[in-house]
Amino acid sequence: MDPEISVVIPVYNEEESLPRLFAELYPVMEDIKRSYEIIFVNDGSHDKSFAMLYDFQKQHPHNVRFIDFNGNFGQHMAIMAAFSKVRGQFIITLDADLQNPPEEIPKLIKQMDDGHDVVGTRRKNRHDPLFRKVASKAVNNITNRITGLHINDYGCMLRGYNRRIVDIIAHSGESTTFIPALGQKYAVNPIEIFVAHREREYGTSKYSIFRLIRLNFDLMTSFSLSPLQWVTMSGIGISALSFLLVAYILIRRFIIGSEAQGLFTLMAIQFFLTGISIMSLGIIGEYIGRIYKQIQKRPRFVIKKIWEEENNDKQAD
């Protein structure tokens, strides 16, 4: 029989965190007293994570399933793979690094029992480096503006989704995506609650600043065309201003004569405009890149094998 709750956890080189995750998660799930499964996705780890997940699955064959990827496809694709295999009606996503304490899971389940199809979360007293907190606040605001979504904390991955939403997400065909944003987009009755947040005690963040920026571009281009519209609008604005400037200089030339000064002003303006042009090309490029990836139709992730009760030896498709 299918379990009621599925917990989905992406894992990428988390050997330091996994023992404590197992130790904390298991009692929490047992205490809920409802049937559940835990689905780990090994996202191409090259430390001992695979062996640890393998052992844990063997110890708890009824409740634990484990999807092993053929390489590193990213956190969101790891979750996507699990979403395509879940059996529960309520699905909880959780990071492996224990920054989201498993004790908060019952809170999310309660909201889902109350009929919320997406339970978003915000990190209470977020424990991350200050610069990441400030940057992510700014990025959250910009992202909400661009995407038209209302999510206060895009980075908090301890979230709940009911099965209908998960099925919609799993069937979305985008080559790169951002799971919480998709959830929010299709939610009918979402809610956002505060959850505790801890410092990462073991291992290091798997996101470099460059990867975070990339993720955010993916998020924006996946949900909105407004950056392109800004490019067009700023082009129109700059052209209008330049036209006025040309008209002014032309008139001035007839009245006062030609001007030779102001070289550095001209350079400054030129640098500024060149900057805008390169940025605009970049924005257009982001969309072209998306189209390019999309038309390649390569698999978004490749599963090497699924370890689970019925088919511990079955090769995955």
Q: Which residues bind ligand UDP (CB under 6 A)?
A: 10-12, 14, 43, 72, 74-75, 78, 95-97, 99, 155, 205-207
**CB-wise, 114 or 201, nearer to ligand UDP?**
201
5-13, 43-51, 92-100, 108-116 -> range binding Mg ion (CB under 5 A): 92-100
Q: How far is the CB of 134 from ligand UDP (least distance, A)?
A: 15
Please give the Cα distance from 160 to 181 (Å, whole number): 13
The neighbouring-strand residues paired with 6 are: 37, 91
Does 97 sit near Mg ion (CB under 5 A)?
Answer: yes
Q: Write out the two tokens for 114.
A: 């109350």
Instruction: Name the 3-class secondary structure at 172.
Output: coil
Q: Which of 177, 153, 2 is nearest to 79 (CA)?
A: 177
Question: Which region, judged by CB under 5 A, interacts with Mg ion, from 93-101, 147-155, 170-178, 290-298?
Answer: 93-101
Supply the minimum distance, in Å, between the C-beta of residue 16 and ligand UDP: 11
DSSP, residue by residue, 243-258: HHHHHHHHHHHHHT--
Contact of residue 83 among ligand UDP, Mg ion, none (CB under 5-8 Å per partner type): none
**CA 106, CA 90: separation in Å to the nearest integer?**
12
Query: Computed from CA positions of residues 257, 258, 261, 264, in that sequence, does the dihedral angle turn out positive or negative?
Result: positive
Q: What angle do CA 292, 297, 303 make, to 5 degrees?
A: 130
213, 177, 119, 197 alpha-carbon torsion, rounded to 10° = -30
Kindly tell me which of 23 and 236 has the beta carbon lying closer to Mg ion: 23
* From candidates 42, 93, 99, 216, binder to Mg ion by CB under 5 A: 99
Contact string 254-283 vs Mg ion (x = CB under 5 A): ------------------------------
Given the rule CB under 5 A, which of 3-11, 95-103, 106-114, 174-182 is the region that contacts Mg ion?
A: 95-103
Binding residues for Mg ion, rule: CB under 5 A, are 95, 97, 99
